[in-house]
Amino acid sequence: MTCPSTALPFASRPAQAPVPPHDRLLRGLVKARWWALGALLMLLFIAPGLLDLPLPQPPMLAILAAVGLWNGLMHWQLYRGAGAPGATGCLLQLCIDLLAFACLLYFSGGATNPLVFMLLLPVVLSALLLSRGAVLAIATLAILLYSLLMVQFIPLEPGDAHRATTLHLSGMWLTFVVSAAMLAWFVMRTSDVLRRRDAELARAREQTYRDERVLALGALAAGAAHELGSPLATLAILVGEMERNAPVDDATATDLKLMREQIAYCKRIITRLTEKAGDQRSEGAESMRCDAWLEGVHAAWRSLRGDCASTFTLLGTGEPPVIVIEPTLGQSVVSILDNALRAGAPVDVALDWSDDEVRIEVRDNGPGFSDDVLRKAGRQTFGDEARGSGIGLLLTTASLERMGGRLELDNPWTGGARATLRLPLARMGVHG
């Protein structure tokens, strides 16, 4: 298929506001805290017997119970209550985690406990997700707590020095494993977020570029419509005079009649281009059964193309859905049909539907889409070496996306090229 430059009216979709990240961050902190509480409880009950190391379990259990109650309150607030309190709430949660872990370290050796380096995890998390002021506050609190734990703590009683060294080295190994796993997880999650953001920015730039192209083409179309009015009117007068002077049985009369119909069709296109945008909104659009509408579009297109070789097939079963017909939808179908006809007749049109969408499939018998067309179609125009400029597909894609649909291009194994227009019934104003 080639790419006609038939201009289509287009209205860009309103930009959606980005979702603030603090809700997701707080939900992640609440879930992570449940896992941390479970691990600490297991460690608190297993460590004394496994390592033959006495721990003051009652106060440490009280700390974990208090943190559990707080986390349960936050869980209820986030999932059933008023939602997250924003960046301040994230800072508060990390401060509570630091204080709770520092209290546990106070009863288990203070700064001599190799797990003291776990105080760095909230600092790392804040550096990845919070503002500079919040990071500075978290880092200051972590340094202050570490400093206090160097002078104020309940010492552990491991026994002899050799056993103390062995326990310390084992604790350092455990700290390294947990820290490496947590840091790797944080870095991977951050990389995923950055990649998604880059992809979203690329899509936004592509959409902006396409919108600018469409708006520029709309301005050119309005100017062309104004300029073409007078020449078409002159041609219509000349063709009328030639028809009156031509013999009735002359083949020229048939050609002149076709010329008059084509001029009238061009004038109708210009009239639609010069209409106000408010007159083409979907509120005033006509509602029709999709099969009757598409059959009418196909028949009108064939009559204006000299009854070219083309077939129309219904693939759907059951009652065809009724849809709201926007003016740009018919122009999109005609643009695709013109592409297919130029690529190679016959052109096969098929209509299918389901509970969710209407599918219009247009196939030709040409050489198929090139790799460049499949890669760029609907997103940007083509170079001079292409068989078409790509403007028709660009505008068709823009029009379909405004209605919530999409255009798919591929080369079937049976040969030729295929263009599929997918229209969601939820966005097409279904009446039945």
pLDDT digits (tens, 9 = 90+) for 207-219: 776 666 666 666 5
What is the pTM (predicted TM-score) of this model? 0.46
Mark which of 243, 278, 313 sits at the end of a domain: 278
Q: 184 versus 102: which is more confidently predicted?
A: 102
Decide if 12 is inside a domain: no
Same-domain check for residues 293 and 392? yes
Instruction: Work out the percent of the chain whose per-residue pLDDT is above 90.
Output: 7
Same-domain check for residues 93 and 115? yes
Mark which of 231, 259, 278 sits at the end of a domain: 278
Q: What is the pLDDT of residue 144?
A: 94
DSSP string for 187-226 = HHHHHHHHHHHHHHHHHHHHHHHHHHHHHHHHHHHHHHHH
Decide if 49 is inside a domain: yes
Same-domain check for residues 272 and 303? no
Residue range(s) defining the domain that contains residue 63: 22-156
Q: Is 12 helix (H, G, I), strand (E, B) or coil?
A: coil
Domain count for the chain, please give it: 3
Mark which of 115, 139, 156 sits at the end of a domain: 156
Q: 170 versus 25: which is more confidently predicted?
A: 170
pLDDT at 292 over 80: yes
Q: How many CA atoms lie within 13 A of 302 on its CB side?
A: 17
Over the Cα atoms of the chain, what is R_g?
Answer: 35
Same-domain check for residues 288 and 269? no
- In SS3 terms, 127-140 reads as HHHCCHHHHHHHHH
403: confidence class by pLDDT, cuts 50, 70, 90: confident
Decide if 175 is inside a domain: no
Decide if 192 is inside a domain: no
Q: Is 307 left (phi over 0), alpha (psi -120 to 50) or beta?
A: left
Q: Is 152 helix (H, G, I), strand (E, B) or coil?
A: coil
| Amino acid of residue 41 | L
Residues ≥6 apart with Cβ < 8 Å to 421: 332, 333, 336, 359, 360, 361, 362, 400, 405, 407
Same-domain check for residues 396 and 416? yes
Burial code (b: 16+ CB inside 10 Å, e: under 16) for 134-172 equals bbebbeebbeebbeebeeebeebebeeeeeeeebbeebe
User: Residue 411 belongs to a domain with what CATH number?
Assistant: 3.30.565.10
DSSP string for 336-362 = HHHHHHHH-S-EEEEEEE-SSEEEEEE
Q: Mean per-residue pLDDT for 3-21?
A: 40
Same-domain check for residues 246 and 149? no
Same-domain check for residues 263 and 356? no
Lowest average pLDDT, out of 9-23, 215-229, 334-348, 404-418, goes to 9-23
Decide if 194 is inside a domain: no
Query: Dihedral through CA 200, CA 206, CA 208, CA 213, nearest 10?
Result: -170
Measured over the CA atoms of residue 369, residue 372, residue 378 and residue 382, the dihedral's sign is: negative
Q: Mean per-residue pLDDT for 141-146?
A: 92
